[in-house]
Amino acid sequence: MQRKSKDLLWWPFTQHNLVPVDCVTVIDSRCGESFSAYKVKDNKMMMIPQFDACASWWTQGPDSKLQIELARDMGYAAARYGHVMFPENAHEPALRCAELLLGGIGKDWASRVYYSDNGSTAIEIALKMAFRKFSLDRGILLDSDKSITNERNIQLKVLALKGSYHGDTLGAMEAQAPSAYTSFLQQPWYSGRGLFLDPPTVFIRNGTCALSLPQSIQNCHLSPGDKCFPSLADVFCKSRDSSAAADLYSTYISQQLSEYSVSSNIEHIAALIIEPVIQGAGGMHMIDPLFQRVLVHECRDRKIPVIFDEVFTGFWRLGVESASELLGCLPDVACYAKLMTGGIVPLAATVTTEAVFEAFKSDSKLTALLHGHSYTAHAMGCSAAVKAIQWFRDPSTNSNLDFDRMKLKELWDGTLVNQLSSLPNVKRVVSLGTLCAIELQAEGSDAGYASLYARSLIQQLREEDDIYVRPLGNVIYLMCGPCTTRDVCTEQLSKVYHRISHFNPIH
């Protein structure tokens, strides 16, 4: 199977020349947080459970009990529904899933669910929604039938953060700042249709939680108390809204928006798109939530629709069902995928306010949102989401839920996290909800997405510790499910601590 894989498959995000045939992991099966792979141990071929530390590209949530439940539901949904057409139709799984979404992550703001297949499509749909809403609010589309050609002069742009990543399709890529992913080599059609701001980040180093400001934001007015925090919880504290940092952010954002609108009168910032709190694919950077909150308010003031890309952050990934709870503000449109089905099958949802939905209503089909995928709202995906959403938020099935049931208990041992962050070869740690990310200290050609610096460490973790880690450049991370026990997390984190503290890359 290793040989065949090398000969027939084309893996995503993989340089095939860098994968020796004996490094191909042949997976036999999965059970909850681990999968079983064939490995040679003690000169024998064995099946060894591997802790799936990358949560299979951040999709995974099930413990072994939920996986069994999901399997039963998948068989049932396939037998009962197969797949059936969605537009103008309804079936119970799609409706039930919509109710759970609107009563959960959409509570108090959303009223409509638009289904699609994955994060990228959910984002493209969100952009189309936001642009229509903006255009209507600004009177750009007063006479929609006649305006089709004239308005090509108007250029709608997004406001987004550097280092953010919103998916791999071209529309989603246009909403990210230039990066290794957007080069001509990868995306000959990319132009970067946005104003991309430099965000301040937060991380733990030497046991301290610190704010790091980008060069573009002056920092002479900030006191040490504005830049260091006793714990991560303090970073989320709402009292920071009246701090000097809030003023600094507000000024920076206003200034950037003014400069942009002065420099061009045909370009409009027509949507804000952010990954709330954690920018995933960009390297697991925690953005100062105060900065994002101020940004949302500045956009609200300017009637710019706000999109939260919760494809990675949604469904307890960061310890709460929706990361908007951490930010303390709400979007107009939000995108969910990955963990939504519990990690069993692809499905995405773009969730919106009624005001956004209204922007598409008329008596003509031509103003409807003409976007859809064949398997929209497929019954298996919706059934899985119904089960998973309920499972994660029910204290009788998810013992990690805190007493108030609105957030997960701390899963990564705080002392261990602080010790890790104090190792000389560790640059920063971010630990939140089901995620614990560690950036290794590396310089020059060892830095960046293409770095192979950590290769031997990864190999040790996989081979000797049975932790299946997949790095983002020099960022190594552990990710568990919303129901994974703290004991399991501590066991894995201890192994990683041990490996990193002895890590000495050979050049």
Chain positions 23 to 42 lying near a copy of itself, rule: CB under 8 A, are 23-30, 35
What residues have CB less than 8 Å from 438, skipping those under 6 apart?
Answer: 420, 426, 428, 429, 475, 476, 477, 496, 500
Residue 95 host element (H or E): helix 92-103
What is the closest distance, in whole angstroms, from the C-beta atom of residue 409 to a copy of itself in the complex? 24
Query: Which one among 57, 109, 260, 503 touches a copy of itself, defined by CB under 8 A?
Result: 57
Binding range to a copy of itself, per CB under 8 A, among 40-48, 194-202, 339-347, 409-417: 339-347
What is the closest distance, in whole angstroms, from the C-beta atom of residue 316 to a copy of itself in the complex? 16
Three-class SS state of 158: strand
Strand order in the sheet with 467-468: 34-41, 44-52, 467-468
C-beta of 57 vs 260, nearer to a copy of itself: 57
Query: Which one among 338, 393, 495, 499 touches a copy of itself, defined by CB under 8 A?
Result: 338
Contact 71, 387 (CB under 8 A): no
Binding range to a copy of itself, per CB under 8 A, among 362-370, 394-402, 403-411, 491-499: 362-370
Contact 236, 326 (CB under 8 A): yes
Query: Which one among 185, 220, 266, 506 touches a copy of itself, defined by CB under 8 A?
Result: 185
Reading the block at residue 417, the tokens are: 């996290």
Binding mask 389-418 for a copy of itself (x = CB under 8 A): ------------------------------
User: What's the CA angle centered on 395, arms 389 and 399, to 5 degrees?
Assistant: 105
What is the closest distance, in whole angstroms, from the C-beta atom of residue 53 to a copy of itself in the complex? 10
Is residue 80 near a copy of itself by the rule CB under 8 A?
yes
The rounded distance, in Å, linking the Cα atoms of 153 and 194 is: 16
DSSP state of 21: G
Three-class SS state of 455: helix
Reading the block at residue 51, the tokens are: 């802790």
Judged by CB under 8 A, the chain residues 187 through 206 that form the site for a copy of itself are 187-189, 193
Is residue 291 near a copy of itself by the rule CB under 8 A?
no
Judged by CB under 8 A, the chain residues 155 through 174 that form the site for a copy of itself are 155-156, 168-172, 174
Reading the block at residue 384, the tokens are: 């899985």
Is residue 470 near a copy of itself by the rule CB under 8 A?
yes
Is residue 70 near a copy of itself by the rule CB under 8 A?
yes
What is the closest distance, in whole angstroms, from the C-beta atom of residue 386 to a copy of itself in the complex? 14
Reading the block at residue 256, the tokens are: 């950037």
C-beta of 213 vs 478, nearer to a copy of itself: 478
